[in-house]
Structure 1
């Protein structure tokens, strides 16, 4: 049976939050907006914005925090993960995230003005899953 979990998005960063775990590993939380535009049957132009939560772990997160800020256009490939948590009232909640970790993760910063792709330096460190993290150059 074939199982594939891969998500690809390209959009603009809305917010950047940097956290550190108990062992001082970096976790970068990004909100990324993607836009969908269409014209309805009456000729009216419409637009809908979808916000995505993107989580970047480890050394890749440490490097990416130097490259992204609000408004930065990014291209990301990762895996979809839904996790359960409890709010302050004890109610169960679920959050769906795009996780960038390990050698299958890709994050490219796209400079729209110059139409070029900027990539962070190569990462040689192993991530928490034991897989080596790589930059997009290593993915080709």
Structure 2
């Protein structure tokens, strides 16, 4: 039986950095920023604990001018996208990082 696969991420959080913009060969532009999210959970003793997570985010296409105009540290966002893992070589060692690539974005 073939299993349907899915790579889908939904996050609501705050921009923990102002976006940076990069122009690639061929004129394509991308925006990169960090998004922080908070979550609460109960520990083994029943106490409420809070945790904060930071996510690397990349935006392409129509979202670049939106983030140029409205993106700022502290801005609340809802994003929908997919996880992307990228690999590169640094000092002869293979490195990797995972980021969220935006499909849709709502400024809150």
- TM-score band w.r.t. shorter chain: 0.7 to 0.9
Match of 1:6 in 2: 8
User: Using CA pairs below 8 Å that are at least 6 residues apart, which structure has the higher relative contact order?
Assistant: 2
| 8 Å Cα contact 1:26/1:62 also seen in 2 | no
Q: Aligned ranges for residues 41-120 of structure 1 at < 5 Å?
A: 41-87=44-90, 89-100=91-102, 105-110=103-108
The normalised TM-score by structure 1 is: 0.68
Runs of at least 5 residues in structure 1 that lack an aligned partner in the other structure:
111-140
* Number of residues of Structure 1 aligned to a counterpart in Structure 2: 105
Q: What is the aligned-residue RMSD (CA, Å)?
A: 1.5
The offset of 1:38, in angstroms, is 2.3
Q: After the TM superposition, which segments of 4 or more aligned residues of structure 1 sit over 4 Å from their partners? A: none
Q: Answer 1 or 2: which has greater strand percent.
A: 2
- CA positional deviation for 1:25: 1.8
Gap runs ≥5 in structure 2: none
